[in-house]
Structure 1
Amino acid sequence: MAALHTAIAIIAAIVLIIRFKVDPVISLIIACIYLGLASGVGAAGTVEQITVGFGDIMLEVGLLIGFGVLIGALLHSMGTFSDLVRVIARKMGRKLPYAMAATLTAIFPSIYVDVQVVLAAPMAKESAPAVDRRIGLPWLAGAMSIGILSGYVFVAPGLAAVSVAGLIDVPLGTYLIYGVPIGLITSLVTVLIFRVLLSRGFWKPATDLDETTVDAEDEDAQPIVSERAANLSLFTRLLPILIPLVLIAVAAFAELFGFSNSVIAFLGDANIALFIGLLLAFALARMTMGVDATDAALGTGFHTTGEILLITGVGGSLGAVIAASGLDETLKGFFSADQNAPVFVTIVLAWLIAAVLHLAIGSISVGAIAAAGIIGPIAGTLNVNPVIIALSIAAGALFALHVNSNFFWMFKSLLGLSTKGALKTLTLATSLGAVVALPLVLLASLIAPSA
C-alpha cells in the first residue's frame, strides 16, 4: 500500500501543479500530508517528518544554495557573465556552440539559470550569423540550453546537482569528480548531434521563428556596470567561481589518493569553499561598484535565495515522509528484482523515475528532488555506488523541458522563437542530453566502486 499511496501523492502534486496551477511548495506539502496520513505515519509523525526532512536537506545544501546565489548576483552586477560570453564569441567563431555549451556547463554551473539565459540569449542572437547564417540561431539555442541545464544537474553549485547529492548522501567533491566530465561530454555530444539534425532540414525559419516576439533584451535585464568593474580583468572577476571549484576538487582528489589533511579538508569543504568565493565576490563588488550597488545586488540574491531554499526544503520533506511510509522496503525489493543485472536496472530505473517526474511537473529541480526523495532512503542498500544513483537521477531530470516550465517561455521570448521553434531547440536538446548522459552514467558505474 505504501507504493500506491506514494503514487497517489505524487500524481496529486503533479495534477495540482499542472492542471490547477498550484504553487509547487503548496502542492508538495499537500502530498506530504496525504502520504503521511494515508500510509500510517500518523498526524504527529507526519508533521515531524515534514519538519525533519526540511531541516535535514537544509543542513546538507542550505548554505551552499545561499552562497551560490549571492555569488551569482554579485558577479552578474559586475557584468562578469556578459563579458565572458562576448569574449568567447569573439575568439571561437564557428566553434562557438561547443564553447558556449562547455562554458555554461563547467565554468558557470548555476543555481541562477534565469540569469544565464538572460545573459546568453542576446549573445546567441548577435553571434548567430557568424556561426551559420542558416542554422546559427537554433544551433546556438540548443547549445545554450544543454549547457545551462547540464551544469545545473551535473556540476556544483548547480541547484539540482547540490540537492540530489545531498538527498542521496553523496559528498559534493565526489559528485564533482564524476559530474564534471559527464556534464561536459553530454553537452558537447548533444551539440554535435543537434547540428546534424539541423543540417538535414529540421529547422524551418518560416514557422520556427516568431517575428512578433518583442526582444526581451531590455535595460532592466542587463547589469549597470561601473567603469572600475568593467576595467577589472575578466579572469579576476571569475575567481569567485573558479577558486571554490578548485578547492572542492583538490580536497576530493586528496581524499581519494590519501594525501588529505585538516587544512585541505577544511578549505575544500563545499560550504567553506563557496563562502571564500562569496567573500571574494563581495570584496570585488565593493571595490569596483561601491556600497550601494553591492547592497542592491545582494538584496536581489537574498530574495532569490528564499524562494529556492523553500522549494528545496519541501522536496526534502517529501523524501522524509516517503522514507517513513515504508516505501523503502517495497522499492528495495523492486530495485533488486533482477539479480542478473542489478546495476543496469537500478541506473535505468532511477533515470526513468526522474525523467517522468520532470516531464510531468515541468521543473528539473523539483523532478530531481522528488526522484531523490523516492530513491534516497534505499540508496545505501543497493549494490551501486550512491554517486551513480545521484548521477542517474540528474541525467533523467534533464529529459524534455517543455511548455509547463516557465524557463521554456523565457527561452522562447528571449531568442525570438515560436513555440514550435522552442520545442525544436530547448525540448529536443534536453531530451537528447538526457539520453546521451545515460550511457555515460552506465560507464561511470564500471569505474566507481560498488557500495
Structure 2
Amino acid sequence: MPLIILIIGILFLFFLIVKVKLNGFLSLIIACLFVGLAEGLPLMKTIATIETGFGGTLGHLGLIIGFGAMFGRIMADGGGAQRIAETLIAKFGRKQVAWAVAFTGFIVGITLFWEVSFIVLIPIVFTVAIAGGIPILEAGIPMLAAITVSHCFLPPHPGPVAVSGIFHANIGLVLIYGIIIGIPTLVVSGPLFYKFINSIGVNPEMKKGLAISKIFKEEELPGFGISVLTALFPVILIVVAMIAEFILPKEANITKFFSFIGSTDMALFIALLVSIYTFGTRRGKTIPEIMKSSEEAAKAIAMILLIMGGGGAFKQVIVDAGVGNYVAKITSGLPISPLILAWLITALIRMCVGSSTISLFMAAGIVLPIVEQSGISPELMVLAVACGSVFGGPPTEPCFWLVKEYFNLNLSQQIKVWCGLCTLIAVLGLAGVLVLSLFIH
C-alpha cells in the first residue's frame, strides 16, 4: 500500500505539472501534503517534515546554486567560455570541430548549471556552424552531450552533490568515478551519435533571427590559460582536498584547511572570487558592473531554489513516511543489482515528472535504505541514480523545449535528437557504473 500511494502521488504530481500547468514548486508542495497525509503522517508532522526537508536541502545547496549562477554569469560576461571554445577549435581544425565543441562543453559544463552552460555555449555553437559552414547539429549535439554528461556525473553540480550528501558518499570519489565514466559516454553520445543522427537525415536549418549573446572581439577576450584555470578552479580545489585527505594525517591543521577550501560550497565561493578578478577587474570592469551581473544571475535562480527545496521536502516526506524502508524490504530479495534497481526507480520517476532534479531527490529518498542495507559503494549508487535522472528527456522538462526551439527541430526530430541523446547517456552511464562495480566494493 505505501508504494501504491507513492505511485499515485507521483502521477498526481505529473498531472499538476503537465495538465494543470502549475509550476514545479507549487506542485511539489501539494504532492508532499497528499503523500504525507495519505501515508498516515499526522497533519502537523507532515508540515514539520516539509519544513525540515526544504530547509535541510537549501541550507547546503542554496549556497552552491547561488555561487554557481554568479560564477557562470561572470565567466560568460568576461569572455572566458568563448576563449576556451575558439582556442580548442583552432587547435582541432575544421574536420574535428565536433570533438572540439565536445571538449569545450565538457570543460565549461563542469562548473556551470545545464541551463547556464547552454546559454553560454549556444552563441559559440552558432558561430562555429556559420564560420565553418557545417550543419548546426554537428556542433550542437556534442555540446548538448557534453553539458548533459557534466550535469549528470560531475560534482559540483547540485544533483550529484545533493545525492552524495543523502548517501554519505565521498564527493571526491564521486568526481573521479564520474570522470572515468563520463569521458567514454561523451565520446559515444557526442560526435559519434551525431554521425548516426546525420545518417538518418535529421539536418534542420539554423533558426533565423534568434537573439544570441554577445560575441567578443579577439582583443576583448581573456587568455586561454587563465580561462581554463578559472573554469576548473572548483574542481581543482575539490581534488586537492581529496588527495590531502588520503596522504596527510586526518587531525593535522593543514588537512583541515584543505578540507575547508575543498568543500563544494567553499570551492565554488573561492572560484567566484577568483573569477571576479580574472574575468572582471583584470579586464577593466568595475566592481559595481560585476556585481550588477551577479545580482541578475541571482534573481534568475529564485524558482530553481524553490524547486530544489520542494524536491528536498518530497524526499523527506518519503523518508519519514517509511516508503523507502518498504521499497527496500520488498526489493531486497529480488535477483537484481541494487545499482540497476536504483537506476530503474530513478528513470521511472524521471519519465513521470520530467525534472531531473526532482527525480534525483525522490529516488534518493526511496533507495536510501537500500544503500544502507546492501553495503554497495555509496559513490556508485550516487552515479546510478544520477544516470537514471537523465533518462528519456521527456517533454515534461523545460530543457526539451529549449533544445527544440534553439535548434529549430520538429517534434519527430526532437525525439530522435534529444530523447535519444538522454537515453543513450543514461544507459551508457549505467553500463559504466556496473563495470566499475566489478572493481569497487
TM, length-normalised to structure 2: 0.90
Mapped contact 1:350–1:392 kept (Cα < 8 A): yes
Mapped contact 2:89–2:97 kept (Cα < 8 A): yes
From 180, 200, 203, the equivalent of 1:202 is 200
Letter in structure 1 aligned against 2:145: I
Task: Give the total of aligned pairs.
Answer: 434
Question: Which sections of structure 1, spanning at least 5 residues, go unmatched?
Answer: none
Deviation of the 1:162 alpha carbon: 2.3
Letter in structure 2 aligned against 1:124: V
Q: Mean Cα displacement is larger for which, 329-338 or 114-123?
A: 114-123
Letter in structure 2 aligned against 1:431: T
- Which residue number corresponds to residue 357 of structure 1? 349
1:241 aligns with 2:235: no
Rounded Cα–Cα distance in structure 2 between residues aligned with 1:131 and 1:372: 44
Deviation of the 1:298 alpha carbon: 0.8
Q: Could you list the per-position Cα deviations for residues 261-281 of structure 1 after superposition, in whole angstroms to 9, with x for gaps in the alignment? A: 222222222222221111111
Mapped contact 2:85–2:124 kept (Cα < 8 A): yes
Distance 1:271 1:198, change over 3 A: closer
Rounded Cα–Cα distance in structure 1 between residues aligned with 2:308 and 2:248: 34
- Which residue number corresponds to residue 327 of structure 2? 331
Q: Could you list the per-position Cα deviations for residues 62-121 of structure 1 after superposition, in whole angstroms to 9, with x for gaps in the alignment? A: 222221111111111112112222222222232232332233234432543223223323
Q: Could you list the per-position Cα deviations for residues 315-338 of structure 1 after superposition, in whole angstroms to 9, with x for gaps in the alignment? A: 111111101111122111133113
Distance 1:389 1:90, change over 3 A: same
Deviation of the 1:367 alpha carbon: 1.9
Mapped contact 2:166–2:364 kept (Cα < 8 A): yes
Letter in structure 2 aligned against 1:55: G
Distance 1:255 1:364, change over 3 A: same
1:190 aligns with 2:189: yes
Rounded Cα–Cα distance in structure 1 between residues aligned with 2:71 and 2:120: 16
From 265, 272, 276, the equivalent of 1:278 is 272
Deviation of the 1:231 alpha carbon: 4.8
Mapped contact 1:65–1:309 kept (Cα < 8 A): yes
Question: Counterparts of 1:423-442 in structure 2 under 5 Å?
Answer: 423-442=415-434
Rounded Cα–Cα distance in structure 2 between residues aligned with 1:120 and 1:165: 28
1:153 aligns with 2:152: yes
Q: Mean Cα displacement is larger for which, 372-381 or 296-305?
A: 372-381
Question: Which sections of structure 2, spanning at least 5 residues, go unmatched?
Answer: none
Mapped contact 1:105–1:152 kept (Cα < 8 A): no
Q: Could you list the per-position Cα deviations for residues 16-53 of structure 1 after superposition, in whole angstroms to 9, with x for gaps in the alignment? A: 11122111111111111111111111111101111111
Mapped contact 2:346–2:360 kept (Cα < 8 A): yes
1:214 match: secondary structure: coil
Mapped contact 1:150–1:398 kept (Cα < 8 A): no
Rounded Cα–Cα distance in structure 2 between residues aligned with 1:374 and 1:443: 24
Deviation of the 1:187 alpha carbon: 0.9
Letter in structure 2 aligned against 1:239: L
Question: Counterparts of 1:208-357 in structure 2 under 5 Å?
Answer: 209=204, 213-218=207-212, 221-222=213-214, 230-257=220-247, 261-284=255-278, 285-288=280-283, 289-338=285-334, 341=335, 344-357=336-349
Rounded Cα–Cα distance in structure 1 between residues aligned with 2:79 and 2:391: 31
Question: Counterparts of 1:383-402 in structure 2 under 5 Å?
Answer: 383-402=375-394
Deviation of the 1:172 alpha carbon: 2.1
Runs of 4+ more than 6 Å apart: 129-132, 225-228
Q: Mean Cα displacement is larger for which, 237-246 or 439-448?
A: 237-246
Rounded Cα–Cα distance in structure 2 between residues aligned with 1:274 and 1:160: 15
Mapped contact 1:102–1:188 kept (Cα < 8 A): no
Deviation of the 1:443 alpha carbon: 1.4
Mapped contact 1:68–1:111 kept (Cα < 8 A): yes
Distance 1:381 1:258, change over 3 A: farther
Distance 1:418 1:88, change over 3 A: farther
Distance 1:109 1:243, change over 3 A: closer
Mapped contact 1:102–1:184 kept (Cα < 8 A): no
Deviation of the 1:55 alpha carbon: 1.9
Mapped contact 1:215–1:413 kept (Cα < 8 A): no
Q: Provide the alpha-carbon RMSD of the alignment.
A: 2.5
- Which residue number corresponds to residue 89 of structure 1? 89
Rounded Cα–Cα distance in structure 1 between residues aligned with 2:58 and 2:369: 17
Rounded Cα–Cα distance in structure 2 between residues aligned with 1:110 and 1:21: 31
Distance 1:253 1:291, change over 3 A: closer
Distance 1:332 1:402, change over 3 A: closer
Letter in structure 2 aligned against 1:113: W
Rounded Cα–Cα distance in structure 1 between residues aligned with 2:259 and 2:387: 29
- Which residue number corresponds to residue 36 of structure 1? 36
- Which residue number corresponds to residue 47 of structure 1? 47
Aligned identity (percent) is 27
Mapped contact 1:5–1:38 kept (Cα < 8 A): yes
Rounded Cα–Cα distance in structure 2 between residues aligned with 1:130 and 1:349: 46
Deviation of the 1:203 alpha carbon: 2.0
Distance 1:23 1:198, change over 3 A: closer
